[in-house]
Amino acid sequence: MLVSENADGFFNVKTYVDGVMTSNQDTDLVYMTDAELKADLVASQAKSGGMAEDAVPAPLAEKNTGACIATVLGVSGVVGGIIAYGCAGACAAAAVGVGVPFCIACIAGFATVGGASITAVATCF
């Protein structure tokens, strides 16, 4: 997976399998530098008290996958959104119990997933 800035100043997420691009998505997330992402992460963890091992996403009237992931993993909303865009294909089937290892592997590329959080993250998709 390659995350970069597009021409409009938003994140672009490209996914590759065996060296072949399988997805190229422009997101609606405003691009942030590494330093800005780190500062955003520190600020979001300070507000939430860090990552909750047994976090379970609250039921949402309209599902916001990025916000759900951010809540469960204790990451910033931007990082949650990037994970949602980048791992949507790998995790869509995990919500019904198929392909969970692929979803976990994809998310683990971005954030640590505690054992209790695996199911919670899968329900975000």
pLDDT digit of tens for each residue in the chain (125 aa)? Answer: 788 999 999 999 888 878 888 888 898 888 888 888 777 767 765 655 544 555 554 443 446 888 888 888 888 888 888 888 888 877 777 666 667 778 878 888 777 776 657 777 777 87
The pLDDT value given to residue 38: 74
- Is 17 inside any structural domain? no
- Is 57 inside any structural domain? yes
The pLDDT value given to residue 98: 67
The pLDDT value given to residue 61: 40
Assign 83 to helix, strand or coil: helix
- Is 28 inside any structural domain? no
- Is 25 inside any structural domain? no
Contact 86, 110 (CB under 8 A): yes
Contact 4, 12 (CB under 8 A): yes
Q: Which residues of 103-119 are buried (b: 16+ CB within 10 A; e: fewer)?
A: bbebbeebbebbeebbe
Look up the domain containing 52 and give its range.
33-122
- Is 99 inside any structural domain? yes
The pLDDT value given to residue 8: 95
- Is 110 inside any structural domain? yes
- Is 11 inside any structural domain? no
The pLDDT value given to residue 44: 64
- Is 15 inside any structural domain? no
In the chain, the number of structural domains is 1
